[in-house]
Amino acid sequence: MTPEPDPNAQLCDILLASLARLAETGETEAACLLAARAYAALRLDAPDGPGASTCSCTD
């Protein structure tokens, strides 16, 4: 039986791809601001750090 994809991991992949695309198109400030907001949201969810969260956005 194939395990179902983790929605949190899928969202992290989408976020990383979106941030990379923004940076590639010269929107580095927007990419940084969105990355900071995402990090803060994960930090609120896991006060011990992003590693404590279910998201593996550490690439």
pLDDT on residue 49: 54
| Contact residues for 51 (Cβ-Cβ < 8 A; gap 6+) | 58
pTM equals 0.64
Query: Does residue 57 form part of some domain?
Result: no
pLDDT at 27: 96
Residue 26 covered by a domain: yes
pLDDT at 3: 85
Instruction: Give a yes or no: residue 18 inside a domain.
Output: yes
In a domain, 25, yes or no: yes
- The verdict on residue 49 lying in a domain is no
Q: What is the pLDDT of residues 7-53, one digit of tens each?
A: 888 988 999 999 999 999 999 999 999 999 988 888 876 666 545 44
Q: Is residue 51 part of a domain?
A: no
- What's CA 27's distance to the chain center, in Å? 17
Give the domain range for residue 39: 8-44
Helix (H, G, I), strand (E, B) or coil at 30: helix
pLDDT per position as a tens digit, 43-58 = 876 666 545 445 555 4
Whether residue 16 lies inside any domain: the answer is yes
Inside any domain, residue 53: no
Q: How many domains does the chain have?
A: 1
